[in-house]
Structure 1
Amino acid sequence: MMKRRTTSFHIRSSHHHKWKRRLFFAILLCLCIGSFVLLEIYRSTINLLMPFPNFFAQKPKIVFLFIARNRLPLDFVWDSFFRGDKDKSFSVFVHSRPGFLFNKATTKSLYFLNRQVNDSIQVDWGEASMIQAERILLKSALVDPANERFIFLSDSCVPLYNFSYTYDYIMSTSTSFVDSFADTKDGRYNPKMQPVIPVTNWRKGSQPVDTSKEHNCIPDEHYVQTLLAQEGLEGEITRRSLIHTAWDLSASKDHERRGWHPVTYKFSDATPELILSIKEIDNIYYETENRREWCSNKGKPSPCFLFARKFTRPAALRLLNLSLLGS
């Protein structure tokens, strides 16, 4: 079963087009087994995607990029969330299995109708296909120059606050990625990556570190973060995520995968106390760096998380009925 980490980031307006060109020309694809693949991007494709500068003033958009197995089981939650936007200041793209269509038979939300990318691939959890899915979504999103912030989400994510609060929060952040830890002490770096990816450019994602699994990693947990570090764009990367994930290091019965999967919240878990406990988190402790970071926004103390995962459909429905999501 495919599992999915969420990533969110934004691109500042002054660096928007430069960032896009550098991203598309970058050569980096970590397969986490010591081998690499050239990103096959053609100049003609880039010219097609970015033919003209953005001459007309347009409100910057947040792009919500979903990676799903088939349909989105929590589309009703996001439908309620998106209804809070009156200015058309967001875009939606979904990567699902090849051939899957978001039509009136597969989603009841107008915001997801025909929002699937048409060049999707079959994605397997823990494989490099996760990286390819991210690139496909970005390729679609980068066509519109008004898209300035990009949020990767799984099909089990929920928004904790309303759209207005979320938009203002994300637009006020001053760096690009908000799910990247600039830590070079991660044991999952494989020396075989030299010299293509030096250890000084190796970046890890939000999974907990398990030093017993040296050199093991989930490719999409590291790809974008390391890519931007390689391209000299680390100033666009923050050191924390806006998506809350509860990692249970002991729940998995599979010893080799223990700690790789976050806790799944079921109907009985979906309580006001749970949501309040997540919203009240105002600091994050980084074990590998032995440091604690207090969360802030616009220079003031703020909640650390705007989104949370992993929620089952019954759990999300219960929380929505209790008006605990998107509020």
Structure 2
Amino acid sequence: MAVTARGVKKRHVVLTRKMLILFFASLSCVLVFALATLSTLHFNNTKPPIPVSRVFHGPPKIAFLFLVRLNLPLDFLWDAFFQNGDVSRFSIYVHSAPGFVLDESTTRSRFFYARQLTNSIQVSWGESSMIQAERLLLAAALEDPANQRFVLLSDSCVPLYNFSYVYNYVMVSPRSFVDSFLDAKEGRYNPKMSPKIPREKWRKGSQWITIVRKHAEVIVDDDVIFSVFKKYCKRRPPIDTRKGKLNLKLQKQHNCIPDEHYVQTLLAMHDLEGELERRALTYTLWNQTTTKMENKGWHPITFSYANAGPQRIKEMKGINHVYYETEYRIEWCRTNSTHVPCFLFARKFSQGAAMRLLSEEVVDHFDVSALLATTS
């Protein structure tokens, strides 16, 4: 009997151990399944909670992004423009040369004090550093959740209207304003960009954009398209008469100017063109008289005091459409189906021209009642 009892007890212990092993094994499976389910739900959640950083109180702001060589030669005109505005409705960011500081000794406007980026880079025209500087400006402005519109400006840009008009014009539209059209010429697109950038997505346009926050995030978050541009979109060397026949070979290279293609192509790659007004808000008058053998191609005309008179400004403000020759497209300037002037800003203006605008009160007085009526 004693042996039988010990045998029964031994079998009981073994059975208990097996049950415990099965229990913990089952529990592990349940935990693994539960974690996998939670992970799948999180991965498939297409509408994640809005980060706290995106929540803001007060009115939405326009971020004015100045891409400049060093200082702001027209700061006195922009000072008058911003004095006309509500400081809670705008913010200012400046990308200047590395190490340059905006203070009482370098700018005449308090609005620009310490508004320079501390992580600026050296920028060269026609190089990818230009679009990298734009991305740095956008990244800095995105840190403020109240910034809902982003306007890129150069050091020679001027406002054509006062702050209230510009603010309402930009804010009333849910779209970005990006000059974008098909580039019919073969010299800019490099086939080596394919397949990351297919030929049919290649676009061209002005770099002076005005965009909504969603599109600013797309630009800042991009690594793929920007990397392709850095590698394959480069400016053709200028003609050097000392190189003789070598110039013919050099001029057969792709002449890609990154800032005239990057944003337009990137947004096309993301299928966002339906969210754009495909036109710029900055007016530029191009000199089209240069020849192929000159060192410079088309370039913007600089307005001086003499040719920045009331009639010239009136003509700029009176433009109501833009024609895109490569697409046979007329872009009528509208905001929410309401006809509006095409341009809010203009370039390139000398200091004398800007002084004339200020003396004639171009940026200080303007009736915005017609535009405000479209928001009601």
TM-score range for the pair, normalised by the shorter chain length: 0.7 to 0.9
| Kept after mapping to 1: 8 A contact 2:308/2:357 | yes
User: Quick check: 83-92 or 122-131, which moved more?
Assistant: 83-92
Q: 2:307 aligns with which of 239, 253, 269?
A: 269
Answering whether residue 312 of structure 2 is matched by residue 279 of structure 1, we say: no
Match of 2:63 in 1: 63
Q: Which residue of 1 aligns with 2:27?
A: none
Asked if the contact 2:304–2:350 (Cα under 8 Å) also holds between the matched residues in 1, the reply is yes
Partner of residue 179, structure 2: 180
CA distance in structure 2 between the partners assigned to 1:93 and 1:216 by the alignment: 30
CA RMSD of aligned residues (A): 2.2
Higher relative contact order (CA 8 A, sep 6+): 1
Counterpart of 1:180, as a letter, is D
Identify unmatched segments of 5+ residues in structure 1. Answer: 1-49
Shift of 1:246: 0.4
- 2:284 is aligned to 245
Residue identity over aligned pairs, in percent, reads: 53
2:346 to 289, 308, 317: 308
- Residue 333 (structure 2) pairs with residue 295 (structure 1): yes
Give the aligned partner of residue 198 of structure 2: 198
Task: Provide the C-alpha distance between the structure 2 equivalents of 1:105 and 1:163, rounded to a whole number of angstroms.
Answer: 26
Change (3 A) 1:124 1:55: closer
Aligned residue pairs: how many? 272
Matches of 1:154 and 1:268, distance apart in 2: 22
CA contact (8 A) 1:184 1:200 kept: no
1:255 Cα deviation (Å)? 1.9
- Deviation string for 1:15-64 (max 9, x for gaps)? xxxxxxxxxxxxxxxxxxxxxxxxxxxxxxxxxxx962434433111111
Letter aligned with residue 69 of structure 1: R
Aligned partner of 1:105: which letter?
Answer: S
What corresponds to 2:363 in structure 1? Answer: 325
1:234 corresponds in structure 2 to: 273
Q: Deviations over 1:149-200 (max 9, x none)?
A: 1111000000000111101100122312x13314253532221211111112
- Could you say if the C-alpha distance between residues 97 and 253 of structure 1 is closer, same or farther in structure 2, counting changes exceeding 3 Å? farther
* TM-score, normalization by structure 2: 0.68
In the alignment, what sits opposite 2:171? 171
Whether the 8 Å CA contact 1:63–1:90 is kept in 2: the answer is: yes
Q: Where do 5+ consecutive residues of structure 2 fail to align? A: 1-49, 208-250, 366-376
2:172, 2:206 → 1: CA distance? 22
Task: After superposing the two structures, state which structure 1 stretch, 250-259 or 283-292, moved more.
Answer: 250-259
Preserved CA contact (<8 Å) 1:157 1:307: yes
CA change 1:196–1:103 in 2 (3 A) is same
Shift of residue 218 of structure 1? 1.4
SS of equivalent residue, structure 2 residue 92: strand
Letter in 2 for 1:269: N
- 1:218 corresponds to 2:279: no
Could you say which structure has the larger radius of gyration?
2
Counterpart of 1:206, as a letter, is S
Deviations 1:197-250 (A, max 9, x none): 11122111138xxxx988423111111221222233333332101100001111
Following the alignment from structure 1 to structure 2, what is the Cα–Cα distance between the partners of residues 312 and 242? 19
Matched letter for residue 275 of structure 1: I
Q: Would you identify which runs of 4 or more consecutive aligned residues in structure 1 move more than 6 Å?
A: none
Deviations 1:271-317 (A, max 9, x none): 11110110011111111112222212232221110000000011111
Q: Secondary structure at the match of 2:300?
A: coil
Tell me the secondary structure at the aligned position of residue 152 of structure 1: strand
